[in-house]
Amino acid sequence: MADKFYLTTPIFYPNAKLHLGHAYVVTLSDIIARYHRLVSDKTYFLTGSDENTQKIIKPAELEGKTPQEFLDEKVESFRSLFTALNISYDQFIRTTDQKVHWPGAQMLWSKLVEAGDIYKKEYEGLYCVGHEAFITDKELVDGKCPDHGTVPERIKEENYFFRLSKYTDAITQKIESGELAIVPETREREILSLLREGLQDVSFSRPRNTNSVGIPVPGDDTQVIYVWCDALANYITALGYGQDETLFKEFWPADVHIVGKDILRFHAAIWPGMLLSAGIPLPKKILVHGMVLSGGKKMSKTLGNVIDPEELLTEYGTDAVRYYLARHISPFEDGDITREHFKDAYNANLANGLGNLASRIMQLAQTHLTEPVKLTFTPYPKGYTDALEKFEVNRASDMVWERIKALDTSITQSQPFKVVKEDLERGRELIAELVRELAAIDLLLEPFMPETSKKIIEAIMANKKPENLFPRKD
Ligand code: MSP
């Protein structure tokens, strides 16, 4: 029976260009969303941008733009990258959207207040402007922030705090009972050991100053909501929480939040704590993926190993990029991409693999069959659906490529091109069988490579060789 399926990506910071790591997150999410639509689940796929950050003020000034112009342009570039990757999101939420996002975030804040979990406290600490956050003495290297190389300021301010410490046991119980599943298990163990140390209360607001961006604290104009009750709230405000709750009622709780390991703690500790406090059901799962590296190292400008997704898309096309991200990067561990490996994988598995197979078979069909082969629906193999239910997109795509290889081998062995000359009917039947298996494989390609899948099925239905799907690259 079909279910509802609500999945979310993290919301992206607009202060920098998106790189291949970000492209990975949205592509992985898109494959999962498309799979759920394929099995007829009522699917809702949310992505967006995390915009209430002071980090954009300087870059905007440098480009001679107002913060709003700067943000609008960045968001446009995110959307156009997502279009180029064929990401089928249902909604793109912007946290600067005062109609969609702010009322819900403020409502959530008020619920935390009602639960008695927000209190005011004077806070003194080392503030790093680059991080827009307090950092601890322990994190400093030679008295400086190791990421920004700047000396932090000692500041004293009044903030509202959220009583996260109160929820340590409740969150632990939810995770241990599997009500809130953290996938893979290694990440679940990581979070459980963090919980065993006990959670600390967290700063939930900042004093408003001239440069302040963000959502005013309800009932206290001198403070703005800090990160957590702003960014994390997007997952429910997008569904109309606190306003028109039609979508919220239909889709919450989230079936899966897809996040990188660097933001696991926020999603598996702070977010559940907030939801428990507000009396809102917890998400069912958090899928924690690894980082995409290049040549074993974090992509960085100084190392010169940054791979721009747009560049790959222009050179190889959408489905080639989706293919690589799906099959050659594990959703649970750090993955790797280099231009060389990308090209090798492309030539071996797309140009010589899938592309060549489709063209070989359809060439035979076009030459020897008088009409398109009649197709019957073949159910999805259990191994394939099991893998995709568990988010193992690499394993599911491996299964598809095993069938591609097997079909290639069977052409070589059965030699239909010879058989048609000796026994036309038997030859035709052989070719029709090959076409049927190509169609069955093609069906499984849909979540990974929707455009290619469509082109192949159209070629089959027209009994025509498809255009050259993946030209060889030298
Ligand atoms: N805005 C926060 C998330 C708030 S969610 C309520 C944020 N934004 S981000 O733009 O910095 O990162 C978004 C996502 O991209 C994170 O999940 C992060 O793990 C992921 N990635 C950033 N670099 C990555 C790689 N190199 N590889 C894979 N994912 C990477 O964090």
Distance 10 CA to ligand 1 centre (A): 7
The pTM of this model reads 0.95
Atom of ligand 1 nearest to the CA of 291: 27
> Under 8 Å CB-to-CB from 453, ≥6 apart: which residues?
442, 443, 445, 446
Closest-CA residue to 445 (of 403, 386, 412, 416): 403
Give the bridge partners for 285, in sequence order.
181
Closest-CA residue, ligand 1 atom 7, reads 12
For residue 267 and ligand 1, the question of a CB distance below 6 A is answered with: no
Taking the mean position of all CA atoms in its chain, how far away is CA 348? 26
Alpha-carbon distance of 182 to 126, in angstroms, equals 33
3-state secondary structure of 92: strand
DSSP string, 372-401: PPP--PPPPPHHHHHHHHTT-HHHHHHHHH
- pLDDT, residue 1, reads 54
For residue 263 and ligand 1, the question of a CB distance below 6 A is answered with: yes
* Distance set, CA 151 to CA 132, 137, 157, 206 (Å): 13, 11, 18, 20
Q: How confident is the model at residue 135 (pLDDT cuts 50, 70, 90)?
A: confident
Taking the mean position of all CA atoms in its chain, how far away is CA 403? 27
For residue 291 and ligand 1, the question of a CB distance below 6 A is answered with: yes
Alpha-carbon distance of 22 to 306, in angstroms, equals 12
For residue 227 and ligand 1, the question of a CB distance below 6 A is answered with: no
What is the per-residue pLDDT across 416-461, written as a single tens digit (0 to 9) for each?
Answer: 999 999 999 999 999 999 999 999 999 999 999 999 999 999 999 9
Residue found under tokens 């943000």: 71
Report whether pLDDT(115) > 80. yes
Report whether pLDDT(158) > 80. yes
Closest-CA residue, ligand 1 atom 12, reads 12
The residue type at 60:
A
For residue 262 and ligand 1, the question of a CB distance below 6 A is answered with: yes
Alpha-carbon distance of 406 to 410, in angstroms, equals 6
* Distance set, CA 224 to CA 152, 210, 423 (Å): 21, 12, 80
Alpha-carbon distance of 419 to 120, in angstroms, equals 83
Distance 14 CA to ligand 1 centre (A): 11
Alpha-carbon distance of 253 to 174, in angstroms, equals 14
For residue 292 and ligand 1, the question of a CB distance below 6 A is answered with: yes
> Under 8 Å CB-to-CB from 134, ≥6 apart: which residues?
123, 125, 126, 127, 128, 203
HSE (side-chain half, CA atoms, 13 Å) at 344: 6
Alpha-carbon distance of 289 to 108, in angstroms, equals 28
Percent of the chain with pLDDT over 90: 86
Q: How confident is the model at residue 300 (pLDDT cuts 50, 70, 90)?
A: confident
For residue 13 and ligand 1, the question of a CB distance below 6 A is answered with: yes
Report whether pLDDT(212) > 90. no
What is the per-residue pLDDT across 270-293, written as a single tens digit (0 to 9) for each?
Answer: 999 999 999 999 999 999 999 999
Q: Which domains does the chain have, with CATH numbers?
A: 338-462 (1.10.730.10)
Peptide bond into 184 cis (omega under 30): yes
For residue 12 and ligand 1, the question of a CB distance below 6 A is answered with: yes
Give the pair of three-digit tokens for residue 313: 């898309």
What is the per-residue pLDDT across 388-414, written as a single tens digit (0 to 9) for each?
Answer: 999 999 999 999 999 999 999 999 999
| Beta strands per DSSP E along 63-215 | 91-94, 118-128, 133-135, 153-162, 181-183, 202-203, 205-207
Between 59-68, 172-181, 272-281, the lowest mean confidence (pLDDT) is in: 59-68
Please state the rounded mean pLDDT for residues 254-270: 96
Cα-only R_g, the chain: 26
Give the bridge partners for 156, in sequence order.
124
